[in-house]
């Protein structure tokens, strides 16, 4: 009966991008249940929230893994940072555990020295799931090229793997995140208040 | 952490073969991909013929393609096996009833 009760939790990993977001649903190390890119037009954060909500209802994940856009040194845009905060709140309201990983932590899972390009990381993942992701591996990015939209799928899968291999680290980080997010929300409210007074 | 599996894994298997919903619908003999979409969203369950066609397309057994559904049916069968074993308890023990009880006990304990 072990076959129908997988040992590992179902993981939903989300990697926000300029188009919308890349996602991957994993059950353990071997089963990639779903993957892809959701494109959003118009209000990207609102659209992304709607789609993630649908995915949570459909897959009923135990854990949601996100990139730590609020980490010190993270260069993600204000929109992505705001989306991350909203996704955390959404997951918590649906009783889904949240795990955040910085780019550095993800790379440490795949590279011994913690250094490697996104493409190298995507190649490792494509080798891990050749049938599912092998044909979705984008060509190597040249200096004059923009990032391929498909790379978001590999980013999301990498995040899910980071959780599988370094779960406890994320849980520890999560305790600090709560404090940090609360602080950043307070700060943005304070700034908005000051701006309102000056007007 | 044990978790119940999804009703079916048609979507992942379809994507693995790089097929669209319309293409799978064509292989299943349906008019459009709408029905495949409904199966993938767990809105409806396929007929036995469709389930076997899925097995032929994806080269995976029906219980692997529909583990959630299989799990549900298995649980129901186990409950019925328990009830049937209770009914046969009062009967005169022969070799045939002993074999039957053994088979029903096996079925009932398989799930629990």
What is the ipTM, given to two decimal places? 0.81
Mean pLDDT of chain A: 85
* Predicted model pTM: 0.82
* Tens digits of pLDDT across chain B (112 residues): 456 789 999 999 999 999 999 999 999 999 889 999 999 999 999 999 999 999 999 999 999 999 999 988 988 999 998 888 888 777 777 888 888 888 888 888 866 5
Q: Which residues of chain B have a Cβ shorter than 8 Å from any chain A Cβ?
A: 1-6, 9, 11-12, 15-16, 18, 41-42, 67, 70-71, 74, 110-111
Residue A27: which H helix or E strand, with range? strand A20-27
CB burial of residue A106 (10 Å; 0-12, 13-18, 19+): buried
**Can you give the residue ranges of every domain in chain B?**
10-65, 70-111
CB contact under 8 A, B1 and A9: yes
Residues of A in contact with B2 (CB under 8 A): 5-7
**Can you give the residue ranges of every domain in chain A?**
2-198
Superfamily name with CATH number, domain B10-65: lambda repressor-like DNA-binding domains (1.10.260.40)
Nearest to B12 among A6, A9, A32 (CB): A32
Question: Whole-angstrom Cα distance, residue B15 to residue B6?
Answer: 16
CB contact under 8 A, A6 and B3: yes
Q: How far apart are the first and last CA of chain B?
A: 17
Cβ atoms of B68 and B4 closer than 8 Å: yes
CATH fold of A2-198? Nucleotidyltransferase; domain 5 (3.30.420)
Structure tokens at A106: 């993800």
29-58 in chain A: CB under 8 A from chain B: 31-36, 58
A33 three-class SS: strand
């Amino acid at each position: 009966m072990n076959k129908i009760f997988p040992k590992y939790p179902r993981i939903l990993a989300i990697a926000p991008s300029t188009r919308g977001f890349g996602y991957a649903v994993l059950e353990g190390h071997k089963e990639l249940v779903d993957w892809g890119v959701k494109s959003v037009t118009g209000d990207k954060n609102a659209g992304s929230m709607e789609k993630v909500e649908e995915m949570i209802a459909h897959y009923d994940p135990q854990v949601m893994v996100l990139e730590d856009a609020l980490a010190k040194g993270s260069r993600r845009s204000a929109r992505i940072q705001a989306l991350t905060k909203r996704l955390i709140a959404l997951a918590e309201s649906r009783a889904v555990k949240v795990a955040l990983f910085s780019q550095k932590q993800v790379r440490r899972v795949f590279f011994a020295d913690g250094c490697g390009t996104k493409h190298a990381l995507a190649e490792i993942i494509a080798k891990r799931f050749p049938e599912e992701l092998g044909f979705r591996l984008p060509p190597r990015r040249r200096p004059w090229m923009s990032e391929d939209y498909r790379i978001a799928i590999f980013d999301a899968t990498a995040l899910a793997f980071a959780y599988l291999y370094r779960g406890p680290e994320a849980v520890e980080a999560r305790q600090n995140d709560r404090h940090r997010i609360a602080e950043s929300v307070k700060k943005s409210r304070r700034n908005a208040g000051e701006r309102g007074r000056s007007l | 952490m044990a978790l119940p599996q999804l009703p079916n894994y048609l979507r992942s298997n379809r994507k693995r073969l790089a097929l669209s919903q319309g293409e799978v619908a064509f292989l299943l003999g349906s008019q459009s991909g709408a029905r495949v979409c409904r199966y993938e969203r767990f809105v409806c369950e396929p007929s036995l013929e469709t389930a076997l066609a899925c097995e032929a397309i994806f080269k995976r057994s029906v219980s692997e393609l529909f583990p959630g559904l299989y799990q549900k049916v298995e649980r129901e069968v186990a409950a019925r096996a328990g009830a049937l074993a209770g009914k046969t308890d009062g009967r005169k023990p022969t070799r045939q009833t002993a074999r039957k009880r053994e088979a029903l006990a096996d079925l009932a304990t398989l799930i629990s």
